[in-house]
Structures are given as structure tokens and as C-alpha cells.
């Protein structure tokens, strides 16, 4: 138990440092700005993955609708950026200057009420965090209080993803429809399209990602995290012990939603647009796949999963434009069949023991004769 | 028809070239460029594009996987054919075209990512690509930021104009107005029922159609307007409404797989297209392949190209296409427009005497392509094409029979006054 009560145990600390070195030093120094921007795009899915580890890996709540929250965060950011790009000077060609171009195409002559708050940056940041949290709260309260769980919950989240996509596509005067919100230019007057801005945004995102990793780790290690695991294993026993299972589930679901929303907002900044194709069922399932490949029990695994799967996606599709989807599909099947715990499972089963042995042998050399106080616990 | 073929036949050299095209790919082995008059790379490429003394690299960016693959494959095939023919005829400024193909995967951010890769990483001198409006909207900021040149083949909703895009398909007014005038004049149509898939292109097109019907056609009116989600297969309720309102014309802008359900249900409901006039701007020969010719026979389509066009250019193009991609392939409007992309680019580069994007953007207006399968096209100042509007009638064998074509080229007008 000694090691476990620390914030990070040794292997987690190692994982944290390895990721930090990779993301903060190796990648920025070795990649050109185009590839670095791609890595930034991949990492936005890591936010979703971290949320899924908490809610699915630990809480046992499989959500197939994380795209909804990713999209909500992304759309909030996109609305702010779009309003800034739609200044009267930029849009004088339109019949109503000063509103986003797609509204003008749809004969809307006045900015809709729900767009107005997004003129303000602080409100936008709050909205990115609160809108998805509130939405998750409503869904969670409606489902978990009625003890809807497991497969039914997964199906309902998927239905919500489908509904939201249809809503966004259908209300194109207000949302940009299937094209999404495109042609975003500046953030608070700062041009986000330049290489320099992309470089800075990358670091902002990595810092946010580590913030989320630490927050997720914190949740995992508190009593709350233990109750989540207990709930996953024996829900009734936790309920009979006097805990409100529903409230804990709602919390995990909301936390996952907020992480996904941060990812979505960063996605909008990195890629420069937002569209309903990130909200629907397919992207939501892809996000679960990243997490599964990385290992749903491991926060770092989720980050690696998002990075590697997306990297494979890019490089396979560049080399084999017509066949790459089959290759990727085969990769998923292979990973899930051979390593049910994903990449982190491979790490824990095959690489971790070697490192442990290395450390153990060093320790026994240096502390020969003394009581081995730091021997692997549990 | 007859004046159609004239521009293509004016020069005997052009005719020889066209016959040469038909004999591909055997010619490609022989047609090495002459090295004598190849201009120096430093002179024709001042901005670091992927141009060497013997080669120039272009990108092809379409979906070859995902839901759009079925539509975009034809465009890829047409572009590859054009590139092969250009290489066989000596290349561009004495340089062979090499292409890098990327897959947009029917996914808009992937399009943006791949566009950036083609421009930043591969330094492509031009990119032929995109199909849906959503994918074009996603890549447009990339092309503008990195100063690339995109040749976009699809008929689309207009409301856009960019220095960095040449639109080789029709913008909405070119496809709509002449067709409505025709149906009004020859069929005496007074009432119209507008249908569409629910996204920007059908909505904008129907908006233009409605304005034209209500403001420009004497005594005509729109009796209904409805939209369906992409991929929708339930049309029974709207078909019942059509039966009740009995419009003179069903004006349908339904896209993709929904078409199959729509035309089958229309037939099943007893609406006979040989009696009920139906005008569509979204069904090309490619779609009929999926719908089944017997289900849509009798419907009218308003396009700029049909595979059955009877002119010398098209008579060389269709066999060359089939020779390269198989006897069974069909060629729709967009496929032909995609074929124009590499040729227009070649002609523009040669007019500008340079591969530099700024120079070809400036040289584009006025570039004319006399070898176009649709006849003759010219680039307008607004980077769209002057082209004719044609009405065809679907036959049971999946081909269109040309019924009407405008006498002159129709001017592209992406921001139509009075139609917005």
C-alpha cells in the first residue's frame, strides 16, 4: 500500500515523464509545423480518451456518445471564433453584413439570441465547460436515477449522438448545417492560422492535457475513484452500503463530458473548423476504439491510443489511399483479440516487469543487507 | 448540336491530338517531350513548388473510401485519364505530370488535413479535388492560407469565389434558370413542387428556383417545398402530397442513395414519369446506375454534360475513358467536369508561362478549352466556367437523350442579384 498512496506510483511517474519528454521535447524539435499540428489534432482525442477511462474503465459506464460533448465544446469555441471572423468589414458582400455567412445564405437577417453570448471570450470559455457538463447532468440524472445502465445506456447515448447530428444538420441557418462552421480566423484578435500560432497552440494544448491527466489521476485516487471501481464490480453492494450510486455515476459521466469538451474546443482551434461529422455515432465509436486500443484502465494508455491510432490512420491513408481502412480495421481486431487490455496491457504484462526487475536489482545492490522497504506493494 | 462541334474542329492539329488521345495508352510510350524548348525551372517556378526540369507534381484529393467514394471515384478516374493524355501529348511546359493521390475518406477534417499535406509537404503545383460543398468549405481556408490552386469539379450552390479555386462545374444559376425557362416554355408548366436533401446545395438551389419561378416566370407558383435528411429512404408521405396537389413539375434535388428509394417509391405509387414532368438537377448517369434506368425513365435532368452528347470531342473522350476504366463505366456530369481540371490547368500554365500560383490565378480568366467533351468552355473572371445548360431525358438503358440546349454559353453568376 505504500506506493499506492502516493499521487503517482513509480511506473505512472515514468509514464508521465516519458509522455512529457515526447510531447514537449522530442515531437516539437523533430517535426515540422504541419506534422506537429497533426499531432495536436490527434491529442484532442486524448482528452476524450481520458474521460472515457474514468467513466468506462473505472466507472463501468460505456458511453457511445462522447462525440456529443466533443462537439458541444467544439461548437462553443467555433461560435466565438465565427462571430469574430464575421465582422461587418469582413462580410460586407452579404445582404446582412455582420452575421456569419451561412446565416446570410439561409435568409436569416438577425443574429439568433443563443449566439449573442458568444461575443464574449470569458463567457465562451465558461460555456465550453458548463454547457456539456449541464447536458451530461441532465442525461445522467434522467438515466442513472432510473437505474438505466449497461447496454441500454450505451444505446441511449448513441441515439443522442444521432439526434444531435440531425438537429445540427437540419437547423443549418443557426448551425451551419452539414458544412459546419468554417473559415475561422482569429482568437481575440490573434490570428490562429499562422505557423507561429499553431506552434503556441500546440503547447497550450499539451499543458491542458497534462492538467487533465493530473485531474483524472486525482479523481481516481480519491475515495470517489475507489467507489467508482466498486460500483463497476458490484453495484448493488455499493448501493446497500448506503452510497448513492446514481450520483457517483452522474459525476463520472459529467467529468468525462467536460474532458471531451476541452478536447473539442482545442480541436476547433487546431483544425480551424467544426462540423457535425464529429458529433455523430461514427466518431463517438472511434473515440471508444482509441481508448480500447490504448487500454481502458490506463489514463496514459488512452493518450497513447489516441496518438498511435490517429498516426496510423494518417500514415496508412497516405501510403495506401484505397486500402488503408482495411488495414486499420485489421489492426483493431488484432489488438483487441490478442491484447484485451490494449497497449497499456502489453506494457504492464511485458515491459513493466523488466523495468521492475532492473530497478529491483539496482536497489538490492545499493541497499544490500537492509530491509527492502520499497519492494513492490500489493 | 452542330455549333457544338465547331470550336473543337477549328484546328486540324487539335483534331489530331484528340484522335491521339483516343489511342491511349499506346501513344504515351512514344510521346516524349522535345527537350529543346523546355523553359528553365527557375524561370517558371519562383515560389518553390514541386517542379523539376522533367516533372511537375499535382495532387488528387477525393474520397475513395466512405459514403462519397461511389460519387467521387468517377472524378478520380477522369483526372487520371486527363493527366495521362496530357503527358502523352508532351506534358505541361515540357514537364511530365506526376500525381500524388490522397484520400479524403468522406470526412471533412481529413480533407483539410490532406489538403494541407499536399500543399505544405508535397508542394503540389495544383490540386484536383473535393466533391461535396462541405469538403470544399473545409479545404478553402487551407488553399487560401498556403496559396494553392484547387480545381473543383462539382456543380454547387455558388455564393463563393476565390482566387485559389477554379470551379469547373456549374454554379447554381447555370443549372437552374435555363432548365426552368425550358420547362415553362415547352411544357407550359405553371406549378412546381420543390424537393431536396437537407443541406446547403439543395436548399440554396431551391431558393434560386423559387425566386425565379415567383418573380420571373409569368403566373407560376411553388405549391410545395420539402427537405429530407441525407440518406433518407421514406418518401411516401411527400408522394401522397404530390398526388393531392398535382403539380405540373416535380423539381427534385435529392442526392446520393436516397434517390434509389425516391424513384422506386414514385414508380410504386403509380406516378408515371412519361406523363408527370419531373425535372432534377442531381441525377447523373452515375446515379441512374444505382436507381435502375427502368425506374427513372422519362425524367428530365438539367446538366451541362451527358455521356450521349454527339460531338467530336465527346466521341473521342468516351471511348478513351472506357478503354482506361472498363466498358461498363458510365460518365456523369461531374466526371466530365473533373476531366476539365487538369486540361484547364495545363492551358493556364502555358498561357501564364509559369507554374506560380499568383500568375496562373491571374491568367485563368479567358482561358478556353476547345477539347472539352461538353463542347467548349472558357474561364470567367470569377473563376467559374462559361458553359451551356442542357436538358436530357432519362432512358431505360441508363443514358440521357439530349432534348434541349441553350444556344449560347451561360455566364456563371455565383452571387446572383435578386436571387438571394
ipTM for the whole complex: 0.75
Chain A residues bordering chain B (beta-carbon distance below 8 Å): 32, 34, 37-38, 41, 93, 95, 101-102, 104-107, 166, 169-170, 172, 177-180, 182-184, 193, 271-273, 275, 277-278, 314, 317-318, 321-322, 324-325
Instruction: Tell me how crowded residue B187 is: count the other CB atoms within 10 A of its CB.
Output: 13
Give per-residue pLDDT as tens, B203-227. Answer: 889 988 999 999 999 899 999 999 9
- Under an 8 A CB cutoff, do A38 and B113 touch? yes
Q: Which of A321, A324, A328, A329 is best to mutate for the B interface (most B CBs within 10 A)?
A: A321
Identify all chain A residues contacting B108, using CB atoms and an 8 Å cutoff: 179-180, 273, 275, 277
- The answer, for B46 touching chain A at a CB cutoff of 8 Å, is no
The answer, for B112 touching chain A at a CB cutoff of 8 Å, is: yes
Q: What is the CA radius of gyration of chain B?
A: 21
At residue A269's C-alpha, the angle toward residues A120 and B199, to 5°, is 90
Q: Which three cell numbers stand for residue B104?
A: 479524403
Residue B55's pLDDT is what?
95
The alpha-carbon gap from B160 to the nearest alpha carbon of chain A, in Å, equals 10
What's the pLDDT at A250? Answer: 95
Which among A29, A31, A32 has a CA at the least distance from the CA of A21? A29
Taking CA–CA distances from B117, the nearest residue in chain A reads A34
Contact B137 A177 (CB under 8 A): no
CA–CA distance, B236 with B314 (Å, rounded to integer): 39
Residue B1's Cα: distance from chain center in Å?
Answer: 20
- Residue range B283-308: mean pLDDT, rounded: 94
Give the whole-angstrom CA distance, residue B318 versus residue B305: 12
A102 contacts on B by Cβ (under 8 Å): 200
- Say if residue A279's pLDDT is above 70: yes
Specify the pLDDT at position A363. 64
Strands (E), chain A: 186-187, 190-191
Q: Are A250 and A137 in contact (CB under 8 A)?
A: yes
Does residue A371 register a pLDDT over 70? no
Residue A367 above 80 pLDDT?
A: no
The DSSP symbol for B386 reads: E
pLDDT(A5) > 80: no
Chain B closest-CA separation from residue A65 CA (Å): 18
Query: Which of B101, B107, B199 is nearest residue A178 as measured by Cβ atoms?
Result: B199
Mean pLDDT of B305-311: 96
CA-angle at A95, arms to A89 and A98, nearest 5°: 35
Q: Are strands B191-197 and B221-228 parallel, antiparallel or unpaired?
A: parallel
**Residue A305 pLDDT > 60, yes or no?**
yes
Number of other residues whose CB lies within 10 A of the CB of residue B69: 18
The neighbour count for residue B16, using CB atoms within 10 Å, is 10
Residue that wins the pLDDT comparison between B319 and A356? B319
Give residues 339 to 398 of B whose Cβ lies within 8 Å of A.
Answer: none
Q: What CA–CA distance (Å, rounded) separates A224 from A247?
A: 11
Judged against a pLDDT cut of 80, whether residue B12 lies above it is answered with no
| Residue B416: φ, ψ to 5° | -70, 125
The predicted structure's pLDDT at residue B395: 96
Is beta strand B191-197 parallel, antiparallel or unpaired with respect to B249-253?
parallel
Greatest CA separation found in chain A?
85
Q: A111: how many CB neighbours lie within 10 A of its CB?
A: 18
Angle at A287 between CA A20 and CA B138, to 5 degrees: 95
In the predicted model, is pLDDT for residue A174 greater than 70?
Answer: yes
Question: What's the confidence (pLDDT) of residue A376?
Answer: 39
Using the Cβ of B134 and the Cβ atoms of chain A, whether some distance falls under 8 Å is answered with yes
Q: How far apart are CA B127 and CA B136, in angstroms?
A: 12
**Distance (Å, whole) CA B138 – CA B117:** 14
Residue B211 sits at the chain A interface (C-beta within 8 Å): no
Q: In A, which residues are within 8 Å of B110 by CB distance?
A: 317
Q: Is the peptide bond before B25 cis (omega within 30 degrees of 0)?
A: yes
Question: Nearest Cβ partner of B121 from A34, A317, A324?
Answer: A34
**Per-residue DSSP letter, A348:** I
Does residue B204 sit at the A interface (CB-CB below 8 Å)?
yes
Query: Which chain A residues are Cβ-neighbours of B116 within 8 angstroms?
Result: 34, 37
Cα–Cα distance, B276 to B248 (Å, whole number): 7
Calpha distance A287→A199 (Å, rounded): 25
Q: Determine which of B59, B141, B229, B417 to mutate to test the interface with A (most A C-beta atoms within 10 Å).
A: B141
Name the DSSP letter for residue A176: -
- What is the rounded distance in angstroms from the CA atom of residue B195 to the CA atom of residue B265? 14
> Residue B110: is it exposed, middle or buried by C-beta count within 10 angstroms (0-12/13-18/19+)?
buried
DSSP bridge pairs for B127: B59, B150
- Tell me: pLDDT of B190 over 90: yes
Predicted TM-score of the model (pTM): 0.82
Q: Which residues contact B352 (CB under 8 A, 6 or more apart)?
A: B359, B360, B362, B363
Amino acid at each position: 500500500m505504500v506506493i499506492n498512496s502516493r499521487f503517482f506510483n513509480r511506473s505512472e511517474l515514468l509514464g508521465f515523464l516519458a509522455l512529457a519528454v515526447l510531447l514537449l521535447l522530442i515531437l516539437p524539435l523533430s517535426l515540422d509545423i504541419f506534422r506537429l499540428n497533426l499531432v495536436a489534432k490527434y491529442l484532442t482525442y486524448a482528452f476524450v480518451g481520458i474521460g472515457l477511462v474514468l467513466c468506462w474503465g473505472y466507472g463501468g459506464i460505456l458511453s457511445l456518445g462522447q462525440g456529443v460533448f466533443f462537439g458541444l465544446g467544439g461548437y462553443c469555441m467555433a461560435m466565438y471564433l465565427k462571430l469574430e471572423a464575421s465582422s461587418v468589414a469582413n462580410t460586407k458582400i452579404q445582404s446582412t453584413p455582420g452575421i456569419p455567412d451561412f446565416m446570410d445564405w439561409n435568409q436569416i437577417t438577425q443574429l439568433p439570441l443563443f449566439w449573442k453570448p458568444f461575443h464574449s471570450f470569458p463567457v465562451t470559455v465558461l460555456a465550453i465547460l458548463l454547457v456539456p457538463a449541464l447536458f451530461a447532468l441532465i442525461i445522467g440524472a434522467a438515466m442513472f436515477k432510473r437505474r438505466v445502465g449497461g447496454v441500454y445506456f450505451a444505446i441511449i447515448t448513441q441515439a443522442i449522438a444521432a439526434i444531435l447530428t440531425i438537429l445540427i444538420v437540419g437547423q443549418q441557418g443557426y448551425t451551419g448545417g452539414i458544412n459546419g462552421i468554417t473559415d475561422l480566423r482569429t482568437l481575440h484578435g490573434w490570428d490562429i492560422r499562422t505557423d507561429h500560432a499553431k506552434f503556441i497552440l500546440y503547447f497550450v494544448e499539451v499543458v491542458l492535457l497534462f492538467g487533465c491527466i493530473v485531474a483524472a489521476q486525482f479523481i481516481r485516487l480519491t475515495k470517489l475513484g475507489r467507489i467508482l471501481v466498486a460500483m463497476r464490480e458490484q453495484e448493488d453492494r455499493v448501493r446497500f452500503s448506503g452510497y448513492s450510486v446514481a450520483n457517483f455515476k452522474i459525476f463520472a459521466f459529467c467529468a468525462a463530458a467536460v474532458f471531451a469538451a476541452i478536447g473539442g474546443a482545442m480541436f476547433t482551434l487546431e483544425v480551424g473548423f467544426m462540423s457535425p461529422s464529429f458529433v455523430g455515432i461514427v466518431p463517438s465509436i472511434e473515440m471508444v476504439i482509441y481508448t480500447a486500443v490504448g487500454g481502458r484502465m490506463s489514463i496514459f494508455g488512452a493518450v497513447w491510443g489516441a496518438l498511435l491510432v490517429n498516426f496510423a490512420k494518417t500514415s496508412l491513408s497516405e501510403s495506401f489511399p484505397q486500402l488503408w481502412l482495411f488495414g486499420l480495421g485489421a489492426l483493431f481486431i488484432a489488438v483487441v483479440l490478442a491484447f484485451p487490455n490494449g497497449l497499456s496491457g502489453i506494457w504492464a504484462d511485458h515491459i513493466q516487469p523488466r523495468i521492475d526487475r532492473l530497478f529491483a536489482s539496482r536497489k538490492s545492490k545499493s541497499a544490500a543487507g537492509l530491509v527492502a522497504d520499497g519492494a513492490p506493494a500489493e | 448540336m452542330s455549333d457544338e462541334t465547331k470550336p473543337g474542329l477549328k484546328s486540324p492539329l487539335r483534331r489530331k491530338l484528340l484522335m491521339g488521345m483516343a489511342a491511349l495508352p499506346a501513344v504515351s510510350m512514344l510521346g516524349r517531350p522535345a527537350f529543346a524548348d523546355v523553359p528553365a525551372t527557375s524561370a517558371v517556378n519562383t515560389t518553390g513548388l514541386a517542379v523539376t526540369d522533367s516533372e511537375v507534381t499535382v495532387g488528387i484529393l477525393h474520397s475513395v473510401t466512405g459514403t462519397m467514394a461511389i460519387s467521387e471515384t468517377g472524378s478520380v478516374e477522369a483526372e487520371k485519364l486527363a493527366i495521362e493524355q496530357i503527358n502523352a501529348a508532351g506534358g505541361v511546359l515540357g514537364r511530365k505530370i506526376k500525381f500524388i493521390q490522397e484520400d479524403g475518406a468522406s470526412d471533412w477534417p481529413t480533407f483539410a488535413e490532406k489538403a494541407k499535406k499536399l500543399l505544405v509537404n508535397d508542394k503540389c503545383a495544383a490540386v484536383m479535388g473535393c466533391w461535396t460543398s462541405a469538403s470544399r468549405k473545409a479545404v478553402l481556408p487551407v488553399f487560401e492560407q498556403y496559396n494553392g490552386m484547387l480545381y473543383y469539379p462539382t456543380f454547387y450552390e455558388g455564393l463563393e469565389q476565390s482566387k485559389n479555386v477554379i470551379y469547373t462545374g456549374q454554379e447554381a444559376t447555370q443549372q437552374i434558370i435555363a432548365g426552368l425557362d425550358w420547362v415553362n416554355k415547352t411544357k407550359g408548366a405553371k406549378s412546381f413542387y420543390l424537393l431536396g436533401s437537407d443541406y446547403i446545395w439543395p436548399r440554396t438551389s431551391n431558393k434560386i428556383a423559387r425566386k425565379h419561378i415567383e418573380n420571373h416566370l409569368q403566373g407560376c407558383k411553388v405549391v410545395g417545398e420539402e427537405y429530407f435528411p441525407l440518406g433518407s429512404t421514406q418518401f411516401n408521405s411527400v408522394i401522397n402530397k404530390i398526388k393531392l396537389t398535382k403539380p405540373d413539375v416535380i423539381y427534385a434535388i435529392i442526392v446520393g442513395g436516397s434517390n434509389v428509394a425516391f424513384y422506386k417509391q414514385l414508380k410504386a405509387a403509380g406516378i408515371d414519369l412519361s406523363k408527370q414532368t419531373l425535372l432534377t438537377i442531381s441525377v447523373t448517369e452515375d446515379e441512374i446506375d444505382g436507381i435502375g434506368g427502368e425506374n427513372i425513365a422519362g425524367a428530365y435532368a438539367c446538366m451541362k454534360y451527358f455521356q450521349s452528347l454527339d460531338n467530336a470531342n465527346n466521341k473521342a473522350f468516351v471511348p478513351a475513358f472506357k478503354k482506361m476504366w472498363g466498358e461498363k463505366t458510365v460518365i456523369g456530369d461531374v466526371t466530365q467536369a473533373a476531366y476539365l481540371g487538369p486540361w484547364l490547368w495545363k492551358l493556364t500554365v502555358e498561357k501564364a508561362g509559369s507554374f506560380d500560383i499568383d500568375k496562373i490565378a491571374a491568367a485563368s480568366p479567358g482561358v478556353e478549352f476547345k477539347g472539352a467533351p461538353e463542347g467548349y468552355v472558357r474561364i470567367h473572371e470569377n473563376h467559374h466556367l462559361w458553359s451551356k445548360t442542357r436538358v436530357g431525358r432519362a432512358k431505360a438503358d441508363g443514358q440521357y437523350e439530349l432534348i434541349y440546349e441553350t444556344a449560347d454559353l451561360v455566364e456563371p453568376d455565383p452571387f446572383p442579384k435578386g436571387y438571394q
